[in-house]
């Protein structure tokens, strides 16, 4: 244990080796005729990772979608979380309704609703014809869904700040706005960083859901190839390994940052 604690890279390499051995053993027992070299050619791997030459797609599009959605949902979630945390009913009640609604809905339902129902809704209500692309609909859906979850992270971060800091700041002559912007919010965001990064890891995995509306991200690109060559075990095993590698790396970064933030808060 002490050896692994000092040499974390060795620990990670051994874990990955162990997982590969288990996966290979399962493949030999369950599907001994697997032919990865034929299924995973350079062109197919390139298509799954980068998409077509003239447009972004594959794993790159997955990261793009996750990155744009987390930035937009961070902004939206911050505003919603602050609104729900506030004592002003005109802000807190609508924010609470939005948060509870989207936290109660399945993610795939939000994606379908935005892609199919939103253009119809705007057409009926405002007499406006909207033709949004699948990628735009996916970004909107992820932003709405993730904003509701990040809002709760923001609210929890604000609630974690001791009330004594409000009183101490007031004795220094600071008004409520100055206290919130200069003292409360910076501390709260430092406490939120690990949770927001964990939400990003979850969002990265959930991007596979947008294959249902035709976005050619990593999973959709893999299914396109599989529908041509019918080598599901080889293709989906590669997809699972890449997802694991990306999510594992992101989770380790989140865990490392969480420890750093915890040390700063305890110091």
Q: What is the pLDDT of residues 200-248, one digit of tens each?
A: 888 999 999 998 898 999 999 999 999 998 888 889 889 988 998 888 8
Whether 239 and 224 have beta carbons less than 8 Å apart is answered as no
Whether 191 and 266 have beta carbons less than 8 Å apart is answered as no
Best CA proximity match to 107, nearest among 34, 223, 199, 5: 199
CA distance 170 to 179: 8
| pLDDT tens track for 255-265 | 777 777 667 66
Q: Exposed, middle or buried by CB within 10 Å (0-12, 13-18, 19+), for 138?
A: buried
Give residue 8's pLDDT band: very low, low, confident or very high (50, 70, 90): low
Name 35's Cβ contacts closer than 8 Å, sequence gap at least 6. Answer: 231, 234
């Amino acid at each position: 244990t002490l050896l692994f604690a000092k040499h974390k890279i060795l620990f990670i390499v051994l874990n990955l080796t162990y997982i590969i051995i288990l996966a290979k053993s399962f493949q030999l027992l369950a599907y001994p005729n697997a032919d990865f070299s034929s299924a995973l050619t350079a062109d197919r791997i390139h298509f799954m990772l980068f998409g077509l030459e003239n447009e972004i797609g594959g794993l790159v599009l997955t990261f793009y979608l996750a990155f744009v959605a987390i930035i937009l949902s961070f902004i939206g979630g911050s505003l919603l979380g602050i609104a729900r945390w506030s004592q002003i009913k005109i802000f807190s009640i609508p924010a609470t309704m939005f948060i509870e609604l989207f936290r109660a809905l399945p993610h795939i339902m939000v994606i379908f609703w935005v892609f199919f129902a939103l253009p119809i809704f705007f057409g009926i209500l405002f007499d406006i014809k909207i033709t949004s692309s699948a990628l735009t609909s996916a970004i909107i859906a992820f932003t709405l869904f993730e904003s509701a979850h990040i809002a709760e992270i923001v609210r929890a971060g604000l609630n974690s700040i001791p009330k004594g800091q409000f009183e101490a700041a007031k004795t220094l002559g600071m008004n409520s706005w100055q206290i919130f912007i200069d003292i409360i919010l910076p501390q709260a965001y430092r406490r939120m960083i690990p949770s927001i990064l964990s939400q990003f890891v979850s969002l990265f995995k959930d991007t596979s859901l947008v294959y249902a509306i035709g976005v050619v991200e990593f999973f959709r690109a893999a299914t396109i190839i599989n529908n041509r060559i019918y080598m599901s075990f080889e293709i989906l095993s590669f997809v699972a390994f890449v997802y694991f590698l990306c999510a594992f790396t992101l989770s380790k970064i989140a865990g490392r940052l969480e420890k750093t933030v915890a040390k700063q808060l305890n110091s």
